[in-house]
Chains A and B, each alone.
Chain A
Amino acid sequence: MNSVAAYRFVVCSSLFLGGLLSAKPLTLSLSQNSESVSPAPASSVLPSAGSQADPLPSLSALQARYKALSKQLSRLKPQEPYILVDTARNHLYLKQRDDVLLDALASTGSGTILPKPGGTTDQWVFDTPRGEFFVRSKLLNPAWVKPDWAFIEEGLEVPRNQADRVEQGVLGAYALGFGKGYFIHGTLYTRLLGKNVTHGCIRLNDDDLKRIYRVARIGTPIIIF
């Protein structure tokens, strides 16, 4: 072992032992330097004005910039009512700015996977998509045109005739489509509201669905997280 390697070994060994011995309860120490957690350790903050190498823009310029950007950000927010879906807690909200117009228990994607037939590695993932979408269609008394996975997951053969895929009365009285086959619709399984059980669609009870259907227009934003 040469002298550099020996030096590294000694330093590493002492650091390792030191690290083990300094392992304290989280409530006492979080940082690697065993600094206090609250308030934030000095090593974790930025230098204050005047201590940075780069000069700061003038205060008035910064204030003007801040105001302009805040306005810009505010303009990007939906002004009309929008639908917000919390997939973790299975709630759908109808909101306008900060006001909650409706808080509804929902069911969203189960997160399960179903392998596609044919021995490939392809699979369906039953997630509710996240991000921003828009109401693209509003349907009255919708019929469910069952996709392939609906048959495969039940161990049934996929029908060749399109008419054999149509099922009436399972989606409730209304449906709001938001693209790629995803809908906000009703359910027969109201006992499962509040749980992640769907194939990606968002289910509501009849009353909440009716209210959403009445307020939403084509183009109403649907934000899902």
Chain B
Amino acid sequence: MDPNDPASLQEVTRVLQEEVKLAARPHNYLLIDLVTRTIHIKGRGLDLYRIPIIAWSMKAPSAVHGTHRLIARPPIARRTVDPTVSVEQVPLSLADMPAAYTLSFTPALTIEVRPSDEEDLFRRLWAGTKNWWRSLNEWVSSFSRGESSDSNPYLLLELSREQAQSLAWSAIDEMPLVIRRATDKK
């Protein structure tokens, strides 16, 4: 951070202010730093785990304010213990976590996570079509309401497959999130 750049300092201060509130509670929280391209899983102000962001893009960053809370995450196929089976049952592991998924927050914020190794053409096309379809729906609904379609912030994150799974593992219901946005001064 450049301590002599007021815009960058103001953004860092805004994030710190949110963090102080979150770190005072016994819950873990997420801090996505788009400047350093790092997702921090934090608790009590401590960095518990860091996830490098390979690439990102964001829509409507100015609509990101304060702390967002996770309200929807990808479903996890938990295995049910069967008392009639004597064979050791396979537990859940990091490898069972999805690598491509969407996280929804309140106030409105959507984060889409994609693995960087998604090389399969059909998967890529499917992801592109899904993304495009979502934009189209947003556009059509905002068009019919006469509003701007860019009002809800949307963040696309590209992570390594393992780290995307790691984030899916660590993201729990109601988990708070703060985003440090990029300023255009580097």
Interchain CB contact under 8 A, B132 and A16: yes
A-B contact count (CB 8 A): 216
Which of B92, B114, B170 has the most C-beta atoms of chain A within 10 angstroms of its own C-beta? B92
| A59-B4, A153-B81, A153-B83 known; A110 vs B10 contact (CB < 8 Å) | no
Q: Is A140 in the interface zone, CB < 8 Å from B?
A: no
- State the interface size on chain B (CB cutoff 8 A): 75
The one of B23, B28, B34 in contact with A73, judged by C-beta atoms closer than 8 angstroms, is B23
The answer on a CB contact under 8 Å between B92 and A111 is yes
- The A46-87 residues at the B interface (CB cut-off 8 A) are 46-49, 52, 56-57, 59, 62-63, 65-66, 69-70, 72-74, 76-78, 84, 86-87
User: Interface centre among B78, B135, B186, by most A CB within 10 Å?
Assistant: B78
Pick the contact of B81 from A41, A73, A113, A195 — CB < 8 Å?
Answer: A113
Spot the interface stretch: A27-35, A164-172, A180-188, A209-217: A27-35
A133 to chain B minimum Cβ distance, whole angstroms, is 7
Q: Does A205 contact B (CB under 8 A)?
A: no
Q: Which residues of B contact A (CB under 8 A)?
A: 3-7, 9-13, 16-17, 19-20, 23-24, 26-28, 34, 41, 43-46, 48-49, 55-59, 61-62, 76, 78-81, 83-84, 89, 91-94, 114, 116, 118-119, 124-125, 127-129, 131-133, 135-136, 139-140, 143, 156, 158, 166, 169-170, 172, 181-186
- Given the complex of chains A and B, what is the CA–CA distance between A152 and B89 in angstroms? 15
How many angstroms from the CA of A147 to the CA of B55 in the assembled complex? Answer: 47
A32 touches B83 (CB 8 A): no
Closest 7 CB pairs of A and B: A19-B132, A111-B92, A23-B128, A110-B91, A31-B57, A132-B26, A37-B55
What is the interface of chain A, defined by CB distance below 8 A to chain B?
8, 12, 15-16, 19-20, 22-27, 30-32, 35, 37-49, 52, 56-57, 59, 62-63, 65-66, 69-70, 72-74, 76-78, 84, 86-89, 110-115, 125, 130-133, 152-155, 195-197, 221, 223, 225
| Beta-carbon contact of A25 and B124 below 8 Å | yes
Shortest distance in angstroms between B61's beta carbon and chain A's nearest beta carbon? Answer: 6
Query: Do A225 and B28 contact each other (CB < 8 Å), given the known contacts A12-B140, A16-B132, A153-B81?
Result: yes
A115 and B81 alpha carbons, distance in the complex (Å): 8
CA of A223 to CA of B41, assembled, Å? 11
